[in-house]
Amino acid sequence: MEYRGQLFVLSGPSGAGKSTLRERIRKRVSELWYSVSCTTRAPRAGEIDGEDYSFVSMDAFLAMVKARGFLEWAQVHGHYYGTPREQVVSSLENGRDVLLEIDVQGARQVKIHLPQACFIFVLPPDVATLKKRLRRRGTEDDSGMKIRLDRATREMAEAPWYDYLVINDDLERASEELAAVIRANRCRAAAVLPRVLDLVRPPPLS
């Protein structure tokens, strides 16, 4: 048995705080590689190409779709997002744990291809908090806000099929809960056994 890395899939509606949690968890949990998604949208203020996303043209994105270069891909708010397949699969095969931050459409695709992954959904404490966080961004007008809230409602309805739900009402507590989920999954027998087979083999019959 060779050890394969574990895949952790993080989802949640806009305004739930999943990107902030993602950055916190990368500092708290060692040896967790973050897979950078590709997107056709323009960078937002402060975003760095190759760190937050790989920003690509529509033609380049569609070429990767045609070549089956994505593990998952989806259209969200008029833009395309996708997870490059090769870098994720090779990392897992080399025993490296991988974190994906993707929407529910993409998570369902990953569930089909890699059902053994750990799926985590981040929720806001309530709708009022979600609205407040979205308004604080200042990136949407009233119509855009309604679209995002409608989408958030649909996405949160998908939460029950995820393995773990983290309510982000307190960032510090939510960060620790997310870290605890990852650490606990690393201790599952299926994850540990490939490393300790010599220790747990039954003794030979005398």
pLDDT for res 135: 84
Q: Spell out the alpha helix ranges (H) of the chain.
A: 18-28, 58-66, 85-93, 104-113, 127-137, 142-156, 171-186, 189-192, 197-200
Per CATH, is 7-198 categorized as 3.40.50.10420? no
In sequence order, the β-bridge partners of residue 32 are 97
| pLDDT tens column, 67-120 | 999 999 998 888 999 999 999 999 999 999 999 999 999 999 999 989 999 999
| Whether pLDDT at 175 is above 90 | yes
- Reading the block at residue 205, the tokens are 């019959």
In the predicted model, what is the mean pLDDT of residues 29-33?
A: 94
Strand partners, 124: none
pTM of the model: 0.89
Q: What is the pLDDT of residue 76?
A: 83
Q: Average pLDDT for residues 121-137, to the nearest whole number?
A: 90
Mean pLDDT across the chain, nearest whole number?
A: 91
Rounded CA gap, 74 and 59, in Å?
A: 15
Task: Check residue 204 and give its pLDDT.
Answer: 81
Q: Which comes out higher in pLDDT, residue 198 or 106?
A: 106
pLDDT digits (tens, 9 = 90+) for 49-70: 998 899 999 999 999 999 999 9
Show me where the domains of the chain are located: 7-198
pLDDT at residue 138, as a whole number: 63
In whole angstroms, what is the distance from residue 203 CA to residue 172 CA? 46
What single string gives the DSSP state of each residue in 37-61? PEESSPPPTT--BTTTBEE--HHHH
Q: What is the mean pLDDT of residues 122-144?
A: 83
Nearest to 57 by CA among 79, 73, 35: 79
Torsions phi, psi for 16 (to 5 deg) = -75, -20
In this prediction, what percent of the chain has a pLDDT beyond 70?
96
Enter the tokens of residue 100: 């994906």
